[in-house]
Protein backbone atom coordinates (compact mmCIF):
# COMPACT_ATOMS: atom_id res chain seq x y z
CA UNK A 1 0.00 0.00 0.00
CA UNK A 2 1.30 3.44 -0.95
CA UNK A 3 0.88 6.03 1.80
CA UNK A 4 0.20 9.77 1.54
CA UNK A 5 3.35 11.86 2.00
CA UNK A 6 1.37 14.47 3.96
CA UNK A 7 -0.72 12.53 6.46
CA UNK A 8 0.20 8.86 6.03
CA UNK A 9 -3.26 7.88 4.79
CA UNK A 10 -3.79 5.32 2.04
CA UNK A 11 -3.67 6.34 -1.63
CA UNK A 12 -6.06 5.06 -4.27
CA UNK A 13 -4.57 5.15 -7.76
CA UNK A 14 -6.85 6.50 -10.50
CA UNK A 15 -4.59 6.96 -13.54
CA UNK A 16 -1.36 5.36 -14.80
CA UNK A 17 0.69 7.01 -17.56
CA UNK A 18 3.12 4.11 -17.74
CA UNK A 19 6.88 4.49 -17.93
CA UNK A 20 7.96 8.11 -18.28
CA UNK A 21 11.34 9.85 -18.55
CA UNK A 22 12.57 12.82 -16.56
CA UNK A 23 10.59 15.67 -18.08
CA UNK A 24 13.47 18.16 -18.28
CA UNK A 25 16.23 15.72 -19.31
CA UNK A 26 16.87 16.84 -22.89
CA UNK A 27 19.43 14.52 -24.45
CA UNK A 28 22.33 15.06 -26.86
CA UNK A 29 21.57 13.08 -30.06
CA UNK A 30 24.65 10.91 -29.52
CA UNK A 31 23.90 10.10 -25.88
CA UNK A 32 20.50 8.47 -25.43
CA UNK A 33 21.66 5.25 -23.78
CA UNK A 34 20.76 4.71 -20.14
CA UNK A 35 17.85 7.17 -20.07
CA UNK A 36 16.07 7.12 -16.70
CA UNK A 37 12.39 6.09 -16.58
CA UNK A 38 9.88 5.72 -13.76
CA UNK A 39 6.20 4.81 -13.43
CA UNK A 40 4.02 7.92 -13.54
CA UNK A 41 0.75 7.25 -11.73
CA UNK A 42 -1.51 9.42 -9.58
CA UNK A 43 -3.61 8.67 -6.52
CA UNK A 44 -6.04 10.30 -4.08
CA UNK A 45 -5.52 10.23 -0.31
CA UNK A 46 -8.61 8.91 1.43
CA UNK A 47 -7.91 10.98 4.56
CA UNK A 48 -6.59 14.45 3.64
CA UNK A 49 -7.76 14.36 -0.04
CA UNK A 50 -4.31 15.33 -1.32
CA UNK A 51 -3.80 14.14 -4.92
CA UNK A 52 -0.21 13.09 -5.52
CA UNK A 53 2.16 10.87 -7.48
CA UNK A 54 2.36 7.23 -6.47
CA UNK A 55 6.12 7.12 -7.03
CA UNK A 56 8.69 9.73 -6.04
CA UNK A 57 11.64 10.59 -8.28
CA UNK A 58 14.85 11.50 -6.38
CA UNK A 59 15.10 15.29 -6.29
CA UNK A 60 18.76 15.31 -7.36
CA UNK A 61 17.78 13.69 -10.67
CA UNK A 62 15.37 16.52 -11.48
CA UNK A 63 16.95 19.69 -10.06
CA UNK A 64 20.65 19.95 -10.82
CA UNK A 65 23.28 22.20 -12.39
CA UNK A 66 21.98 21.64 -15.92
CA UNK A 67 18.29 22.26 -15.14
CA UNK A 68 17.07 24.07 -18.29
CA UNK A 69 13.88 25.91 -17.26
CA UNK A 70 14.19 29.69 -16.94
CA UNK A 71 11.25 31.54 -15.34
CA UNK A 72 11.84 34.82 -17.15
CA UNK A 73 11.58 33.23 -20.62
CA UNK A 74 7.97 34.40 -21.03
CA UNK A 75 6.92 38.04 -21.15
CA UNK A 76 3.64 37.13 -19.44
CA UNK A 77 5.46 35.41 -16.57
CA UNK A 78 7.93 38.27 -16.15
CA UNK A 79 5.05 40.69 -15.80
CA UNK A 80 3.29 38.34 -13.41
CA UNK A 81 6.28 38.08 -11.08
CA UNK A 82 6.96 41.81 -11.21
CA UNK A 83 3.35 42.46 -10.17
CA UNK A 84 3.66 39.88 -7.38
CA UNK A 85 6.77 41.58 -6.04
CA UNK A 86 5.10 45.00 -6.11
CA UNK A 87 2.15 43.59 -4.18
CA UNK A 88 4.45 42.23 -1.47
CA UNK A 89 6.28 45.56 -1.26
CA UNK A 90 3.00 47.39 -0.77
CA UNK A 91 1.68 45.02 1.90
CA UNK A 92 3.71 42.44 3.81
CA UNK A 93 7.09 44.11 3.16
CA UNK A 94 6.12 47.68 3.97
CA UNK A 95 7.41 47.68 7.57
CA UNK A 96 10.89 48.49 8.89
CA UNK A 97 13.74 46.35 7.48
CA UNK A 98 11.59 43.54 6.02
CA UNK A 99 13.03 40.24 4.76
CA UNK A 100 11.63 37.85 2.13
CA UNK A 101 12.78 34.35 1.20
CA UNK A 102 11.82 32.72 -2.08
CA UNK A 103 11.88 28.92 -2.33
CA UNK A 104 12.82 27.90 -5.88
CA UNK A 105 13.86 31.38 -6.98
CA UNK A 106 15.10 30.18 -10.39
CA UNK A 107 16.79 33.04 -12.30
CA UNK A 108 15.58 35.65 -9.80
CA UNK A 109 12.80 37.09 -11.93
CA UNK A 110 10.59 37.95 -8.93
CA UNK A 111 13.41 38.99 -6.60
CA UNK A 112 14.80 41.51 -9.11
CA UNK A 113 11.96 43.89 -8.29
CA UNK A 114 12.47 43.27 -4.56
CA UNK A 115 16.19 43.96 -4.91
CA UNK A 116 15.60 47.21 -6.82
CA UNK A 117 13.39 48.38 -3.93
CA UNK A 118 16.31 47.84 -1.54
CA UNK A 119 14.52 45.13 0.47
CA UNK A 120 16.51 42.32 2.06
CA UNK A 121 15.93 39.02 0.30
CA UNK A 122 17.27 35.53 -0.25
CA UNK A 123 16.50 33.06 -3.00
CA UNK A 124 16.89 29.36 -2.22
CA UNK A 125 17.54 27.54 -5.49
CA UNK A 126 19.01 24.01 -5.84
CA UNK A 127 19.73 24.23 -9.58
CA UNK A 128 23.18 25.73 -10.00
CA UNK A 129 22.86 27.11 -13.51
CA UNK A 130 19.75 29.21 -12.91
CA UNK A 131 20.98 30.24 -9.45
CA UNK A 132 24.08 31.67 -11.14
CA UNK A 133 21.91 33.64 -13.57
CA UNK A 134 20.26 35.29 -10.56
CA UNK A 135 23.60 36.02 -8.87
CA UNK A 136 24.87 37.72 -12.02
CA UNK A 137 22.03 40.23 -11.58
CA UNK A 138 22.87 40.94 -7.95
CA UNK A 139 20.29 38.62 -6.37
CA UNK A 140 21.27 36.95 -3.09
CA UNK A 141 20.97 33.20 -3.60
CA UNK A 142 21.57 30.10 -1.50
CA UNK A 143 22.29 27.22 -3.88
CA UNK A 144 20.63 24.29 -2.09
CA UNK A 145 17.29 22.66 -1.34
CA UNK A 146 14.98 24.36 1.16
CA UNK A 147 14.19 22.19 4.17
CA UNK A 148 14.10 22.47 7.96
CA UNK A 149 17.89 22.53 8.42
CA UNK A 150 18.48 25.24 5.81
CA UNK A 151 15.64 27.35 7.23
CA UNK A 152 17.21 27.28 10.69
CA UNK A 153 20.52 28.50 9.23
CA UNK A 154 18.79 31.26 7.25
CA UNK A 155 17.00 32.47 10.39
CA UNK A 156 20.25 32.51 12.36
CA UNK A 157 22.04 34.55 9.70
CA UNK A 158 19.31 36.89 8.46
CA UNK A 159 16.63 36.96 11.14
CA UNK A 160 12.92 36.20 10.70
CA UNK A 161 11.17 36.51 7.34
CA UNK A 162 7.95 38.44 6.92
CA UNK A 163 7.24 36.45 3.73
CA UNK A 164 8.32 33.08 2.40
CA UNK A 165 7.19 32.75 -1.22
CA UNK A 166 7.23 29.91 -3.72
CA UNK A 167 5.94 29.84 -7.30
CA UNK A 168 5.53 26.54 -9.15
CA UNK A 169 7.77 24.96 -6.54
CA UNK A 170 5.75 23.73 -3.56
CA UNK A 171 4.10 21.09 -5.75
CA UNK A 172 7.60 19.76 -6.51
CA UNK A 173 8.46 18.98 -2.88
CA UNK A 174 7.22 15.68 -1.41
CA UNK A 175 8.75 16.21 2.06
CA UNK A 176 6.02 18.50 3.41
CA UNK A 177 6.85 17.96 7.08
CA UNK A 178 10.39 19.30 6.69
CA UNK A 179 9.11 22.31 4.74
CA UNK A 180 6.65 23.26 7.47
CA UNK A 181 9.20 22.76 10.24
CA UNK A 182 11.41 25.11 8.25
CA UNK A 183 8.61 27.65 7.90
CA UNK A 184 7.94 27.51 11.62
CA UNK A 185 11.61 28.24 12.29
CA UNK A 186 12.00 30.98 9.68
CA UNK A 187 8.80 33.01 9.64
CA UNK A 188 8.19 35.97 11.92
CA UNK A 189 5.29 35.37 14.36
CA UNK A 190 2.87 37.19 12.04
CA UNK A 191 4.64 36.20 8.81
CA UNK A 192 3.02 34.44 5.87
CA UNK A 193 3.89 31.62 3.54
CA UNK A 194 2.56 32.38 0.05
CA UNK A 195 2.74 29.81 -2.73
CA UNK A 196 1.14 29.37 -6.13
CA UNK A 197 0.89 26.20 -8.17
CA UNK A 198 -1.25 24.58 -10.87
CA UNK A 199 -4.79 24.15 -9.54
CA UNK A 200 -6.25 20.66 -9.56
CA UNK A 201 -9.70 22.03 -10.38
CA UNK A 202 -8.36 23.56 -13.60
CA UNK A 203 -6.49 20.39 -14.49
CA UNK A 204 -9.71 18.40 -14.20
CA UNK A 205 -11.82 21.01 -16.05
CA UNK A 206 -9.33 21.39 -18.91
CA UNK A 207 -8.27 17.72 -19.05
CA UNK A 208 -4.77 19.18 -18.90
CA UNK A 209 -3.13 15.88 -18.03
CA UNK A 210 0.24 17.19 -19.19
CA UNK A 211 0.45 19.06 -15.88
CA UNK A 212 1.19 15.63 -14.44
CA UNK A 213 4.89 14.80 -14.70
CA UNK A 214 7.85 13.93 -12.49
CA UNK A 215 8.42 17.41 -11.05
CA UNK A 216 4.77 17.90 -10.04
CA UNK A 217 4.37 15.63 -7.03
CA UNK A 218 1.30 17.28 -5.45
CA UNK A 219 -1.85 18.64 -7.12
CA UNK A 220 -3.43 21.12 -4.75
CA UNK A 221 -6.96 22.19 -3.87
CA UNK A 222 -7.98 24.61 -1.15
CA UNK A 223 -9.30 21.64 0.84
CA UNK A 224 -6.10 19.61 0.66
CA UNK A 225 -3.92 22.66 1.37
CA UNK A 226 -6.08 23.56 4.38
CA UNK A 227 -5.73 20.00 5.71
CA UNK A 228 -1.97 20.05 5.16
CA UNK A 229 -1.58 23.42 6.85
CA UNK A 230 -3.64 22.36 9.86
CA UNK A 231 -1.57 19.22 10.31
CA UNK A 232 1.55 21.33 10.79
CA UNK A 233 0.14 24.15 12.91
CA UNK A 234 -0.70 26.57 10.10
CA UNK A 235 -3.94 27.85 8.62
CA UNK A 236 -5.10 28.70 5.10
CA UNK A 237 -6.06 32.37 5.33
CA UNK A 238 -6.46 33.44 1.70
CA UNK A 239 -6.72 32.10 -1.85
CA UNK A 240 -6.59 33.82 -5.20
CA UNK A 241 -7.19 32.40 -8.66
CA UNK A 242 -4.42 33.18 -11.18
CA UNK A 243 -4.63 32.98 -14.99
CA UNK A 244 -1.00 31.89 -15.51
CA UNK A 245 0.29 28.40 -16.39
CA UNK A 246 -3.11 27.15 -17.44
CA UNK A 247 -4.81 28.14 -14.18
CA UNK A 248 -3.23 28.37 -10.75
CA UNK A 249 -4.22 29.29 -7.21
CA UNK A 250 -2.15 31.41 -4.86
CA UNK A 251 -2.47 30.15 -1.27
CA UNK A 252 -1.59 32.27 1.77
CA UNK A 253 -0.83 30.46 5.02
CA UNK A 254 -0.18 31.87 8.49
CA UNK A 255 0.26 30.34 11.91
CA UNK A 256 -3.05 29.04 13.24
CA UNK A 257 -5.14 31.76 14.86
CA UNK A 258 -2.90 34.67 13.86
CA UNK A 259 -4.99 35.91 10.92
CA UNK A 260 -8.67 35.70 10.03
CA UNK A 261 -9.34 33.72 6.84
CA UNK A 262 -10.87 35.75 4.02
CA UNK A 263 -14.25 34.98 2.50
CA UNK A 264 -12.42 33.73 -0.61
CA UNK A 265 -11.31 30.63 1.31
CA UNK A 266 -14.84 29.57 2.19
CA UNK A 267 -16.01 30.35 -1.33
CA UNK A 268 -13.38 28.15 -2.98
CA UNK A 269 -13.97 25.33 -0.51
CA UNK A 270 -17.67 25.40 -1.36
CA UNK A 271 -16.88 25.48 -5.09
CA UNK A 272 -14.62 22.44 -4.72
CA UNK A 273 -17.24 20.51 -2.78
CA UNK A 274 -19.78 21.15 -5.53
CA UNK A 275 -17.25 20.01 -8.17
CA UNK A 276 -16.47 16.79 -6.29
CA UNK A 277 -12.75 17.53 -6.02
CA UNK A 278 -12.42 15.16 -3.07
CA UNK A 279 -14.33 12.31 -4.72
CA UNK A 280 -12.62 9.35 -6.38
CA UNK A 281 -15.38 9.16 -9.02
CA UNK A 282 -14.43 12.65 -10.27
CA UNK A 283 -10.88 11.53 -10.93
CA UNK A 284 -11.96 8.29 -12.55
CA UNK A 285 -13.99 10.37 -15.02
CA UNK A 286 -10.93 12.56 -15.54
CA UNK A 287 -8.88 9.46 -16.36
CA UNK A 288 -11.44 8.41 -18.97
CA UNK A 289 -11.33 11.89 -20.55
CA UNK A 290 -7.52 11.71 -20.69
CA UNK A 291 -7.65 8.39 -22.54
CA UNK A 292 -10.09 9.92 -25.03
CA UNK A 293 -7.72 12.85 -25.72
CA UNK A 294 -4.83 10.43 -26.23
CA UNK A 295 -6.80 8.39 -28.74
CA UNK A 296 -8.11 11.44 -30.62
CA UNK A 297 -4.68 13.05 -30.85
CA UNK A 298 -3.05 9.90 -32.19
CA UNK A 299 -5.86 9.45 -34.71
CA UNK A 300 -5.37 13.00 -36.00
CA UNK A 301 -1.58 12.75 -36.24
CA UNK A 302 -1.76 9.43 -38.06
CA UNK A 303 -4.30 10.82 -40.52
CA UNK A 304 -2.13 13.85 -41.24
CA UNK A 305 0.87 11.59 -41.81
CA UNK A 306 -1.15 9.45 -44.23
CA UNK A 307 -2.11 12.62 -46.12
CA UNK A 308 1.56 13.59 -46.45
CA UNK A 309 1.26 16.60 -44.15
CA UNK A 310 4.23 17.94 -42.21
CA UNK A 311 3.61 18.37 -38.48
CA UNK A 312 5.97 20.16 -36.10
CA UNK A 313 5.47 21.17 -32.48
CA UNK A 314 6.02 24.33 -30.45
CA UNK A 315 7.36 24.50 -26.90
CA UNK A 316 9.72 21.80 -25.61
CA UNK A 317 8.04 22.08 -22.22
CA UNK A 318 8.50 19.73 -19.30
CA UNK A 319 4.84 18.79 -19.53
CA UNK A 320 5.17 17.78 -23.17
CA UNK A 321 7.08 14.69 -22.02
CA UNK A 322 3.86 13.26 -20.61
CA UNK A 323 1.99 13.92 -23.85
CA UNK A 324 4.58 12.48 -26.21
CA UNK A 325 5.37 9.39 -24.17
CA UNK A 326 1.85 8.56 -23.01
CA UNK A 327 0.40 9.08 -26.48
CA UNK A 328 3.29 7.42 -28.32
CA UNK A 329 4.20 10.48 -30.40
CA UNK A 330 7.41 9.72 -32.29
CA UNK A 331 9.46 11.65 -34.91
CA UNK A 332 7.56 10.00 -37.75
CA UNK A 333 4.40 11.77 -36.51
CA UNK A 334 5.93 15.06 -35.29
CA UNK A 335 9.13 16.04 -37.09
CA UNK A 336 10.58 18.47 -34.51
CA UNK A 337 9.82 20.82 -31.64
CA UNK A 338 10.54 24.57 -31.71
CA UNK A 339 11.77 26.16 -28.49
CA UNK A 340 13.38 29.43 -27.41
CA UNK A 341 15.57 27.92 -24.66
CA UNK A 342 19.21 27.61 -25.80
CA UNK A 343 19.90 24.75 -23.37
CA UNK A 344 17.28 22.59 -25.11
CA UNK A 345 18.12 23.43 -28.72
CA UNK A 346 20.01 20.79 -30.69
CA UNK A 347 18.92 18.14 -28.22
CA UNK A 348 16.20 15.48 -28.19
CA UNK A 349 13.04 15.56 -26.09
CA UNK A 350 12.88 13.08 -23.20
CA UNK A 351 11.77 9.58 -24.13
CA UNK A 352 10.16 10.40 -27.48
CA UNK A 353 13.43 11.85 -28.87
CA UNK A 354 11.89 14.59 -31.02
CA UNK A 355 14.62 16.99 -32.28
CA UNK A 356 14.49 20.45 -30.68
CA UNK A 357 15.09 23.37 -33.06
CA UNK A 358 15.53 27.08 -32.23
CA UNK A 359 12.22 28.92 -32.41
CA UNK A 360 14.23 32.00 -33.32
CA UNK A 361 14.99 30.36 -36.69
CA UNK A 362 11.38 29.50 -37.51
CA UNK A 363 10.77 30.70 -41.07
CA UNK A 364 9.41 29.42 -44.42
CA UNK A 365 8.95 26.80 -45.65
CA UNK A 366 6.57 26.27 -42.75
CA UNK A 367 5.06 22.93 -41.70
CA UNK A 368 1.37 22.38 -42.36
CA UNK A 369 0.56 22.05 -38.63
CA UNK A 370 2.14 22.86 -35.28
CA UNK A 371 1.21 20.88 -32.17
CA UNK A 372 1.21 23.44 -29.35
CA UNK A 373 2.77 21.90 -26.24
CA UNK A 374 3.11 25.34 -24.58
CA UNK A 375 -0.67 25.85 -24.74
CA UNK A 376 -0.63 27.87 -21.51
CA UNK A 377 1.16 30.61 -23.51
CA UNK A 378 -1.05 30.18 -26.59
CA UNK A 379 -1.96 33.82 -27.20
CA UNK A 380 1.58 35.08 -26.70
CA UNK A 381 3.04 32.41 -29.01
CA UNK A 382 0.41 32.66 -31.73
CA UNK A 383 0.80 36.42 -31.89
CA UNK A 384 4.56 36.05 -32.22
CA UNK A 385 4.23 33.43 -34.98
CA UNK A 386 1.43 35.10 -36.93
CA UNK A 387 3.34 34.60 -40.20
CA UNK A 388 2.89 30.84 -39.81
CA UNK A 389 -0.87 31.30 -39.66
CA UNK A 390 -0.78 33.81 -42.55
CA UNK A 391 0.96 31.16 -44.67
CA UNK A 392 -1.91 28.74 -44.08
CA UNK A 393 -0.52 26.90 -41.05
CA UNK A 394 -2.84 25.47 -38.40
CA UNK A 395 -2.30 24.95 -34.69
CA UNK A 396 -3.20 21.65 -33.00
CA UNK A 397 -4.30 21.87 -29.36
CA UNK A 398 -5.36 19.04 -27.05
CA UNK A 399 -6.94 20.77 -24.05
CA UNK A 400 -9.72 20.35 -23.08
CA UNK A 401 -10.06 18.17 -26.20
CA UNK A 402 -8.25 17.84 -29.51
CA UNK A 403 -9.04 20.75 -31.85
CA UNK A 404 -7.52 23.00 -34.52
CA UNK A 405 -6.98 26.76 -34.53
Q: How far apart are CA 22 and CA 318, in angstroms?
A: 8
pLDDT > 70? residue 120: yes
Q: Please write the tens of the pLDDT for every residue from 88-99.
A: 999 999 999 999
User: Predicted confidence band at 69 (pLDDT cuts at 50, 70, 90)?
Assistant: low
Residues 251-264, mean pLDDT to the nearest whole number: 98
Report how far residue 43's alpha carbon sits from residue 27's, in angstroms, rounded to the nearest whole number: 30
Mean pLDDT computed over every residue of the chain: 95
Could you tell me the fold of the domain covering 282-404?
Rossmann fold (3.40.50)
Cα gap 160→280, rounded to integer Å: 41
pLDDT for 246 equals: 84
Task: Say what the pLDDT of residue 64 is.
Answer: 54
Pairing between β-strand 37-45 and β-strand 187-198 as defined by DSSP bridges: unpaired
Kindly indicate the confidence band of residue 51, based on its pLDDT and cuts at 50, 70 and 90. Answer: very high
- Residue 53 pLDDT > 80, yes or no? yes
Nearest in space to 327 (alpha carbons), one of 302, 351, 372, 297: 297
Question: Cβ neighbours of residue 229 under 8 Å, at least 6 residues apart?
Answer: 180, 235, 236, 253
Rounded to an integer, the average pLDDT of 198-213 is: 97
pLDDT, tens digit, 9 for 90 and up, residues 123-134: 999 988 888 999
- Between the two ends of the chain, the Cα-to-Cα distance in Å is 44
Residue 351 has pLDDT above 80, yes or no: yes
Average pLDDT over residues 377-404: 96
Exposed/middle/buried for residue 18 (C-beta within 10 Å: 0-12, 13-18, 19+): exposed
Average pLDDT, integer, range 172-188: 97
Instruction: Give the start-to-end residue ranges of the domains of the chain.
Output: 62-258, 282-404
Assessment of whether the complete model's pTM goes beyond 0.85: yes
DSSP string for 59-95: HHHHSSTT----GGGSHHHHHHHHHHHHHHHHTTT-S
Same fold yes or no, 62-258 and 282-404: yes
Q: Is CATH 3.40.50.150 what the domain over 62-258 is classified as, yes or no? A: yes
Residues with Cβ within 8 Å of 123's Cβ and at least 6 positions away in sequence, in order, are 101, 102, 105, 106, 108, 111, 131, 134, 139, 140, 141, 142
- The pLDDT of residue 56: 94
- Over 80: is that where the pLDDT of 62 sits? no
Distance CA 31, CA 367 (A): 28
Do 157 and 96 meet the contact criterion of CB atoms below 8 Å apart? Answer: no
Amino acid sequence: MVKCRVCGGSLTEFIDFGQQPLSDAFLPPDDIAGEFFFRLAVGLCADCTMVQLMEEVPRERMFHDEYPYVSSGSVVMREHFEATARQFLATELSGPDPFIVEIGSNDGVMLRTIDKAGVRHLGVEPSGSVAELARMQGIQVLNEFFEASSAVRIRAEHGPAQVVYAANTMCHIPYAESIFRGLDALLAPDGVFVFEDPYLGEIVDRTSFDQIYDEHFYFFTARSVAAMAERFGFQLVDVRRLPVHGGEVRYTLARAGVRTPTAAVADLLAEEAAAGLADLATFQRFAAAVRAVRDDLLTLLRRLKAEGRVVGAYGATAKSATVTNYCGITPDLVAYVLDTTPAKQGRLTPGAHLPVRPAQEFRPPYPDYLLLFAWNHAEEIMAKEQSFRDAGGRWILYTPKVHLR
